[in-house]
Structure 1
């Protein structure tokens, strides 16, 4: 009876622990993304925090507050400006459609350049569509106005999602303050917990996680810089005003899924409105082939080199992580695959059968005397060592 009572107590204690864990998970669920972002931001900027900590002579609260203020200025303020500007642009764009319809009823569209029709495969189709649009511009805009207004409302709704993302970013910065202040003790406790679970392999796992996250951070920043640089070249070639400012906005929006197309599509629309049709087409093609494609190539390449993992593993990790977890999947996907890849290598290495491979004995040529005969097994007690005689064979014992 005592045995059953002890088992029941153990099961009740285990159920209580599981219930507490589930309850904590439900409470933290709305803030999981913010906590992950705070951990990533604090980890990526930890060297700068250590520098401030030395300058401020170990004042942790002051150093953490200074880092929080810097993150707010660098991250939150630009996204607020972009979000407000984007919302105003959508509203003004809807008003522009009404005004443009009245203008197009009086004046037709400008003719396309001659080289557009010579574009392989699509040139004639573009020319025919443009001609049909020019013949009935007002009616075409009137037919497309409901669809365009629906698209505008869809963009406005997604701008609310952007506002929600900004609020999560604000929460991440606030959580980062406490990670800056108490991060060292938290890392020590995490290392002890990993050691209890995986033993001596814990340090290797933490190294894999830290190197992967660091590589992803560098990959995201490097990709943003590359996209901003490529975008600046395209804006300057097409004659878009303020190319450096637009390139800076492209850099900041590269941290958001489908962020850079907002900039170069807007630039292409501006070129079309100004009557620069050829440059508008150039901007669209350049944006698709050059600006947006940088994200799919440069980011996995930088991540794979920094983490010393196969490129295909990081490529699948980035794309699959974004598809599964959203933007935070850029970090979660490669990190999970990196840890899984490392564990797989460790398991295969530990469970690989040890093959006892004996060195091959080189046979002497007929009639030749080997320079070093193979050593005989050491004799045991009570036995007389047998000395092999020259010319004796294995099948015929020596007489």
Structure 2
């Protein structure tokens, strides 16, 4: 009896020691993870965006590398330099236009030199909001300084928001350029990185589905980045440059609006059509110039219909609300760069989740359709 009690006590002591050792190891591991995350967190957004860019541009990088005799580093450097030239130049012009527009508006308000044209009588006939809009517009035309003074607290908050938005765009652009350089480094070591990512997927999901989910992740990143974000970014630059050529004011602001609308899968003609109306109603353009600029803006507004088939052979599998929520949520949490990352990550999560659901449904269907063996014979 004593021997049995001693044996049970020894087993209990070993279990307690093992549990305590496992708990200490788990605590140390958790502390290590938290410390690593705290150290890495300032670079997390940059690295995620760099990884997205590297995955998206890797086929182009490999094509350039093959033409350069397989020199991966030289191909990555060439691609980064070309990308920086193509991105920095138009973005710098549009950012300069955006800054000039905001600064000019602030100076005009401060000097009371803003001139508001009188409203048309048809404005008062608009349903619901017509009388209020007409009254506010009339007050702005008759006494704009008085209107500004009465709305000064709100205008101050709006000005701070606008300046914060401009600063966020500038910071996001710098972050994008830095991530583009990091993406070039990742692409230079793309083969070892691909093997490492596949090993991670195999370890987390299992070797049966690791390769499948790795291919799915790569395809989703490229689909969203090229078919949604890439098209929106290129179209925003094209429309912004066209607005500068046409002399339409606030070209930088309008191009930023086009970028947001493009991410949300909203047609850019919502911006280009009012610009065309401005060209014809301002009275500062000749007929020939107005026609030429209208055609230019209309073609630029429809450019996504040409860019999407070229950059993406098929539509993005993720539904538009998923991309819209990811873009808006990412912009609310991380600014202009967060809009890119949010749309890509949410679409990727949706694709992985739906693939998991589809695999489970297929397994259940196969199990239900498999014929069962004959029932055992009844006894005598």
TM over 0.5: yes
CA contact under 8 A between 2:98 and 2:251: conserved in structure 1?
no
Higher percent of residues as helix: 2
Q: 2:327, 2:364 → 1: CA distance?
A: 30
Q: Which residue of 2 aligns with 1:153?
A: 160
CA contact under 8 A between 1:303 and 1:314: conserved in structure 2?
no
Q: 1:312, 1:147 → 2: CA distance?
A: 32
Q: Which residue of 1 aligns with 2:230?
A: 221
Q: Which residue of 1 aligns with 2:57?
A: 45
For the residue of structure 2 that corresponds to 1:200, the secondary structure is coil
Structure 2 residue corresponding to 1:182, chosen from 164, 170, 189: 189
Q: Does 1:56 align with 2:68?
A: yes
Offset at 1:305? 5.6
CA contact under 8 A between 1:35 and 1:175: conserved in structure 2?
yes
Q: Does 1:339 align with 2:348?
A: no
For the residue of structure 2 that corresponds to 1:161, the secondary structure is helix
Offset at 1:316? 5.2
Offset at 1:158? 3.2
For the residue of structure 2 that corresponds to 1:58, the secondary structure is coil
Q: Which residue of 1 aligns with 2:201?
A: 194
CA contact under 8 A between 1:97 and 1:145: conserved in structure 2?
no
Higher relative contact order (CA 8 A, sep 6+): 2
Offset at 1:333? 0.8
Offset at 1:93? 1.5
Q: 1:172, 1:213 → 2: CA distance?
A: 16
Offset at 1:318? 5.1
For the residue of structure 2 that corresponds to 1:199, the secondary structure is coil
Q: Does 1:204 align with 2:201?
A: no
Q: Which residue of 2 aligns with 1:171?
A: 178
CA contact under 8 A between 2:97 and 2:252: conserved in structure 1?
no
Residues 58 and 303 (structure 1), Cα distance of their counterparts in 2 relative to 1, 3 Å cut: closer
Deviations 1:84-114 (A, max 9, x none): 4433332222111133x2676xxxx543334
Residues 137 and 243 (structure 1), Cα distance of their counterparts in 2 relative to 1, 3 Å cut: closer
For the residue of structure 2 that corresponds to 1:174, the secondary structure is helix
Q: Which residue of 1 aligns with 2:255?
A: 250
Deviations 1:159-189 (A, max 9, x none): 3333322332232123112211111211111
TM norm structure 2: 0.68
Q: Which residue of 2 aligns with 1:349?
A: 362
Q: 2:119, 2:14 → 1: CA distance?
A: 90
Residues 304 and 22 (structure 1), Cα distance of their counterparts in 2 relative to 1, 3 Å cut: farther
Q: 1:160, 1:267 → 2: CA distance?
A: 25
Deviations 1:118-165 (A, max 9, x none): 434433433333333334344223333554344223322333333322
TM norm structure 1: 0.65
Q: Does 1:30 align with 2:42?
A: yes
Is there any run of 5+ residues in structure 1 with no aligned partner, and where?
A: 277-290, 359-376, 381-399
Q: 2:236, 2:151 → 1: CA distance?
A: 32
Q: How many residue pairs get matched?
A: 328
Q: 2:180, 2:313 → 1: CA distance?
A: 28
Q: Which residue of 1 aligns with 2:81?
A: 69
Task: Determine which structure has more spread, i.e. the larger CA radius of gyration.
Answer: 1
Q: Does 1:93 align with 2:100?
A: no
CA contact under 8 A between 1:40 and 1:213: conserved in structure 2?
yes
Residues 58 and 80 (structure 1), Cα distance of their counterparts in 2 relative to 1, 3 Å cut: same
Deviations 1:194-234 (A, max 9, x none): 1233221112211221221122111223345566788899x
Q: 2:238, 2:94 → 1: CA distance?
A: 19
Q: 1:304, 1:124 → 2: CA distance?
A: 50
